[in-house]
Structure 1
């Protein structure tokens, strides 16, 4: 399905990754399924008429070509033709630099004074992700964006599981509490320890080609040394990292391993950066005053662009905040302080189960107010 979207429908990689789950949920899992649908139903799934028409036309071409090919083969010979090696787009070798570039997050050119008027509308989980991704750029600057997205999702998921258990949504012990991931290194993100996997041999800066022949090996991961103390920590100059998905590890009932250096990473119990990025891109609505056009009135491509723009403004605000403190705080102190910052600006929701997944306002002015302005008073305001 991904190969069809990328190679036949000519959909950009990020868009294909962002829409694949929606198509699957609508039972459109093959080009033939899509070809039998109509433009209205496909537009509802993809949220953009132009994109829907492009995908539908490609599906009809592929379906028609396949049908004609099958009829031709059946009428000319009973002997099946020799198999041809399939041409691939998705799954083809992607060098690390290209992979990292595909994960680029939006930015903003607005000044701090212009950002102060912006009020976003979102729930708490994507805000945790945005804070973690930004803070990691300062506390672990040697990590690539793919790692920062994965690590951010790891801490967000861990916090969500703890919250779910606290309010009674989740019953029983979590994978973390049961000790899954023991032997894997630990790092601290937003003042919470998470298990990680080291991506030995992954070099993404200035590398024109994948060193070991394919995307899986370029992201190759090795299991932690189980003979080491379980409290091993990872210094900032260590290899690139993956955040370990302990719940997925528990379900697989196996060790954190990759059987062969050239094996696929798809079955590894890790948080994929593509999924984290896609979630961030669609999670932030906006409120800019009574006269502004609400985001919910937008549709299709305009809505996607609006939400990406909103994320860019949020990340710019968080970046300005971290910049102001980075020169006076150690990496450890900056990480600890960041959780307090998140708590002071997160959306207000109802307590308990009623507030689970609830949305509220995030004022960028509140984030920018936490910047260091010099003097002891502002120092303590930033730690509230």
Structure 2
């Protein structure tokens, strides 16, 4: 019997690696289960005829098989060849490997991508609250304003923006009282960068050698899509001093104040200094779970069967890919027209223009509403 975790992994493989539209992927789950093709490994070992019997279209079947072999090869396992190692030995081998290499860290943080065209994006309506939308805006913005920073740093800095904004809003609504940790001086001595109009205190990640990694796409560790993005960003009107910065962490000053410090200026890294930072992993997890689809209005007789937790999770991940794709189109339309500083100044207003409508005051805190990607696309430069 296929577990929920296996279904979730299968849906993720089909929608992200094999590029099968999520609705189609969902509709094929039962057939794949019946054929005992419930993982990329089993698909990689399967003859093309078995896959084509399920997907019917030969091109799609080849697409699925190629993706399965690619994913299996990437994990270092040969299709059709069972591992001769015992589970205990495999576990021991994995535990002795260093999971914290820059390459492994950046690879683990990869965000969903979408190849959806403008027409599909314009039809998309998502259901979410405001905080993850700020996080999505900031994460994508940083690809353009700080293109030399790794994804782990961009996620950390973006989460810092969300937290600082939430703190400011909470104080204005009377939910929290007092001054911020920044106003109390807890960030003194640490450098800062500007993201979406807010100053974020940062810590330099000395020794994080991600730029020194070699790959076919460039001279430092970046996924292919990030390398493409960097090439396009070179047309921005001005260079930024952050291009020469080491990788950064966004400092969590509120956590620092709660623990009563101390703040050590010029700290070498989060592990060595004990300074609290916004982790890329938590920011990524928040993004992955936050963008649901708007339910379609229909009468009770035509209501579809309730989606499983695995299906809902896969759907949210695909939705994240859609919203990041829409934001990418918006930001790219301004490349070569706005400087990085000018782009940063505009983005908060763009976010306000498309954010979900919620009740005013405390009643709307954390409230959810719809986000229309058609409105987001309207933020692109005209002409």
- TM category, shorter: 0.5 to 0.7
Partner of 1:306: 315
1:164 maps to 2:170: yes
1:360 maps to 2:366: no
Q: Secondary structure at the match of 2:123?
A: coil
Conserved 8 A contact 2:287-2:320: yes
Larger deviation: 100-109 or 290-299? Answer: 290-299
Partner of 1:204: 210
Q: For residues 270 and 126 of structure 2, what CA distance do their matches in structure 1 show?
A: 42
Matched residue pairs, number?
Answer: 274
1:331 maps to 2:331: no
Partner of 2:137: 131
Q: Secondary structure at the match of 2:120?
A: helix
One of 158, 168, 173 as aligned partner of 1:152: 158
- Residue 192 and residue 261 in structure 1: after superposition, are their counterparts in 2 closer, same or farther (change >3 A)? closer
Conserved 8 A contact 2:192-2:199: yes
Partner of 2:284: 277
- Residue 252 and residue 88 in structure 1: after superposition, are their counterparts in 2 closer, same or farther (change >3 A)? farther
Q: Which has the higher helix share?
A: 2
CA root-mean-square deviation: 3.4
**TM superposition shift of 1:263:** 8.0
One of 234, 237, 242 as aligned partner of 1:235: 242
Q: Secondary structure at the match of 1:89?
A: helix
Partner of 1:143: 149
Partner of 1:253: 260
Please give the per-residue CA displacement for 1:102-133, whole angstroms capped at 9, x wherever unaligned: 00000111101110000000000000000000
Please give the per-residue CA displacement for 1:184-232, whole angstroms capped at 9, x wherever unaligned: 00110001111001112322146279xxxxxxxxxxxxxxxxxxxxxxx
Q: For residues 299 and 330 of structure 1, what CA distance do their matches in structure 2 show?
A: 45
Unpaired runs of 5+ residues, structure 2, are: 1-5, 13-37, 39-91, 216-239
Partner of 2:353: 344
Q: For residues 295 and 258 of structure 1, what CA distance do their matches in structure 2 show?
A: 57
Partner of 1:227: none
Conserved 8 A contact 1:97-1:206: no
- Residue 111 and residue 87 in structure 1: after superposition, are their counterparts in 2 closer, same or farther (change >3 A)? closer
- Residue 175 and residue 243 in structure 1: after superposition, are their counterparts in 2 closer, same or farther (change >3 A)? same
Conserved 8 A contact 2:205-2:268: no
Taking structure 1 as the reference length, the TM-score comes to 0.65
Q: Secondary structure at the match of 1:367?
A: helix
Conserved 8 A contact 1:285-1:295: no
Q: Secondary structure at the match of 1:193?
A: strand
Conserved 8 A contact 1:185-1:234: no
Partner of 1:180: 186
**TM superposition shift of 1:90:** 8.9
Please give the per-residue CA displacement for 1:272-314, whole angstroms capped at 9, x wherever unaligned: 0000000000001112743699999422211110000010000
Q: Secondary structure at the match of 1:271?
A: coil
Q: Secondary structure at the match of 1:270?
A: coil
**TM superposition shift of 1:89:** 2.8
- Residue 332 and residue 208 in structure 1: after superposition, are their counterparts in 2 closer, same or farther (change >3 A)? closer
Q: For residues 268 and 372 of structure 2, what CA distance do their matches in structure 1 show?
A: 46
Unpaired runs of 5+ residues, structure 1, are: 1-8, 16-49, 51-85, 210-232, 375-384
Conserved 8 A contact 1:295-1:306: no
One of 309, 316, 324 as aligned partner of 2:325: 316
**TM superposition shift of 1:258:** 9.5
**TM superposition shift of 1:237:** 2.3
Q: Secondary structure at the match of 2:315?
A: helix
**TM superposition shift of 1:235:** 2.9
